[in-house]
Structure 1
Amino acid sequence: MRALVWHGKEDIRCDQVSDPEIEDERDAIIKVTSCAICGSDLHLYHNYVPAMLPGDIMGHEMMGEVVEVGRGVNGALKKGDRIVVPFTIMCGECDQCKRQNFSVCERTNRKKNLGDKVFGHTTAGLFGYTHLTGGYPGGQAEYLRVPFADATHVKVPDNLTDEQVLFLGDIFPTGWQAAAQCDIEPTDTVAVWGCGPVGQMAIRSALLLGAKQVVAIDCLPERLSMGAAGGAITINFAEESVVERLQELTGANGPEKCIDCVGMESHVSLAQPDTVYD
């Protein structure tokens, strides 16, 4: 099959690689029908994240059609099912999964010792990412092996298109979780710094969760326009003071909740200390 393969810093190629096979009874194989590129993929592209190896297959936002299942899937999936595959691989049975803390599943990182040494405590296994998180092949490929497939999937009804549900794998839950952790109340002003993909999802999630108003902060007109289309009040920090505008919008009280969606490569301009660049 064809897949996007990491070969080193800023060197990703479309290669011919071996098709995945069932390796464990809880596995499934999907034919990938849609996938996306994440900002986290750029971290790998620029080699900001350690423990990538030449030959690693990229991608952790994907969905597709089930073409094969292991006998241990026990009816949770069948051939022909359409599923979104989450970034996080979950067993569904450990203490953390039972608490719905899927990102720290205790069983799915097959290179747990590496994760423990670098992070202090291992994460769950992740698709298409560093070997610190298991080194699992990702979904920017024609086919994907899904470990623990009976738990690691979201079934898609036939009446929804790939474009309507693809973001459920990573980008939408990331923005939603940020907003959910704010414990938003109906009187809250929520300020979102950064209007990239995560910021766009956080904006919409905050409004869905009942915020009085959401303020989106960025300097790129196209991103601010998208934030406004999602219902946010926008501030272009290249043109006005963020602090002054927030004070104006909140009766000098400031926002009750703030969400940072700027990203790993951000930096603050000393000339404009109240601004954050994406």
Structure 2
Amino acid sequence: MRALVWHGRNDVRCDTVPDPIIEEPRDAIVKVTSTAICGSDLHLYDGYIPAMMSGDILGHEFMGEVVEVGSGNSKLKVGDRVIVPFTICCGECFFCQKGLWSCCERTNRDSDKAAEMFGHQCGGLFGYSHLTGHYPGGQAEYVRVPFADVAPTKVPEGFTDEQLLFLTDILPTGYQGATYAQIEPGETVAIWGAGPVGQMALRSAQMLGAGHVVVIDRVPERLTMAAAAGAEAINFEQEDVYDRLNAITKGRGPDRVIEAVGMEAHGTGSWDAFGDRALAATGLGTDRIHALRDCIRNVRAGGTVSVSGVFGGYLNGFPFGAAVQKGLTIKAGQCNVLNYLPTLIRAIQEGKIDPSFVITHRCGLEDGPEMYKTFRDKKDGCIKVVMRPHG
């Protein structure tokens, strides 16, 4: 089969690789009908996530049709159309029983590496390094889905792939970000990052009752998309974010903030961003966290910082003193997708949200390597790429 394969920093190729097979009784093999490039895939592409190895198959946003089912899987049958959440979970362990699906203690085949890096293991993820199980991802024609009797979810009839695909990651991730922000009706919410997750967080914040949503970015197409949804848009290259937010909130600061940028924040012209880039370029640092610092600086005292962006290692210059003195709540984590699927599927069915609005580019797998560059460089108005492996 064909798949997008990581060969090193900025080196993704469409290769021919062996077809996946059933390895465990609870497995399923899914023929991928749609898959996407996620902003967090760019952290892999740019070489900032540790423990990637040449030959790793990328991709964690995908859906398709079940073509084979293991003997121990009674949930799925051949022909089922399913979305496959990016987190792999067993459904039985301590964390799964608590709804902390992304922390599953049975699915990370590299738990020793994760424990060494993070202090304890984390759950397995599709297509995301040898810290999270080195599972082949879904930017491929077919994919093996472990524990396929837990996370894969049959989808309602009458909806296109594009309306449902983002239930696998960015829509629930944005919704969890808004939920973690602890938004109360009428509050002001500021979102750093108007990429796909930020766009979903914006609409989720509105669904959860935010009175005023402000979105911070520098890419005109993203800001235009956010403004069209009713947000107030700030281009951080054109005006001072702190001054503008204080003007909006009469000096108090936003009640809740959502970080939807992650470990490659730009922070054009700021001293801290320059330091981050220097440390990353020399290998002395991993994450560029200007957006996260900005969140902590701008949120009001007693407010909440919700972190939806992906971070890979150790943070330099993290302003924890401000978090303590201001009495902030900080909530973070990979998305526990299964907790939100019933609510979000119902929202799509009721017409409250159509996640396909974010798609700007469509292509086949063979165009994937070039689209990684286009998406990374934000060329051609690219906000979200969807690929159809089978045409």
TM score, norm. by length of structure 2: 0.68
1:119 is displaced (CA, Å) by 1.5
Deviation at 1:267, TM superposition (A): 4.1
Which residue of 1 is the match for residue 5 of structure 2? Answer: 5
Check whether the contact 2:174–2:201 (CA below 8 A) recurs between aligned residues. Answer: yes
* CA distance in structure 2 between the aligned counterparts of 1:272 and 1:232, rounded to whole angstroms: 28
Residue 247 of structure 1, CA deviation:
2.3
**Alpha-carbon distance between aligned partners in 2 of 1:116 and 1:241, rounded to the nearest angstrom:** 40
What is the aligned partner in structure 2 of residue 37 from structure 1? 37
Give, in whole Å, the separation in 2 of the partners of 1:268 and 1:245: 16
In 1, Cα distance between equivalents of 2:206 and 2:54: 42
Which residues of 2 match residues 125-140 of structure 1 at below 5 A?
Answer: 125-140=124-139
Equivalent residue number for residue 57 of structure 2: 57
Conservation of the 8 A alpha-carbon contact between 1:94 and 1:106: yes
1:231 aligns with 2:233: no
C-alpha change, 1:273 and 1:94, in structure 2 (3 Å) is: closer
Match of 1:94 in 2: 93
Q: After alignment, is 268-277 or 202-211 more displaced?
A: 268-277
Change (3 A) 1:273 1:162: same
**1:18-77 deviation line (CA, Å, top 9, x unaligned):** 111110000000100000001221111122112112211111000000011111112x11
CA contact under 8 A between 2:6 and 2:12: conserved in structure 1? yes
Letter in 1 for 2:27: D
Tell me if structure 2 keeps the 8 A contact 1:190–1:211.
yes
Tell me the equivalent position of 1:46: 46
Q: CA deviation at 1:131?
A: 1.0
Secondary structure, counterpart of 1:14 in structure 2? strand
For residue 273 of structure 1, report the CA deviation from its aligned partner. Answer: 8.2
Distance in 2 between residues matched to 1:272 and 1:242, nearest whole Å: 15
SS at match of 2:251: coil
Which structure 1 residue ranges, 4+ long, deviate > 6 Å from structure 2?
272-275
Q: Structure 1 regions of 5+ residues with no counterpart?
A: none
Q: Structure 2: how far apart are the matches of 1:191 and 1:53?
A: 37
Work out which structure has the larger RCO, using CA pairs closer than 8 Å and 6 or more positions apart in sequence: 2
Superposed CA RMSD: 1.9
Structure 2: runs of 5+ lacking an equivalent = 274-289, 295-377, 379-391
8 Å Cα contact 1:189/1:255 also seen in 2: yes
- Figure out how many residues of one structure are paired with residues of the other and give that number: 277
CA distance in 1, matches of 2:206, 2:271: 29
Q: Of Structure 1 and Structure 2, which has the larger fraction of its residues in helix?
A: 2
SS in 1 for 2:37: coil
Normalised to the residue count of structure 1, the TM-score between the two structures is: 0.94
The more displaced of 266-275 and 238-247 is: 266-275
Bigger Cα displacement from structure 2, 9-18 vs 58-67: 9-18
Mapped to 1, the partners of 2:219 and 2:54 lie a distance apart of 35
2:202 paired residue number: 203
CA distance in 2, matches of 1:89, 1:271: 38
Check whether the contact 1:204–1:231 (CA below 8 A) recurs between aligned residues.
Answer: no
Q: How is 1:25-174 mapped onto 2 (pairs within 5 angstroms)?
A: 25-74=25-74, 76-174=75-173
Q: Which amino acid aligns with 2:229?
A: G
Matched residue type, 2:19: D
Quote the Cα distance in structure 1 between the aligned partners of 2:248 and 2:22. Answer: 56
TM-superposed CA distance for 1:6, in Å, is 1.2
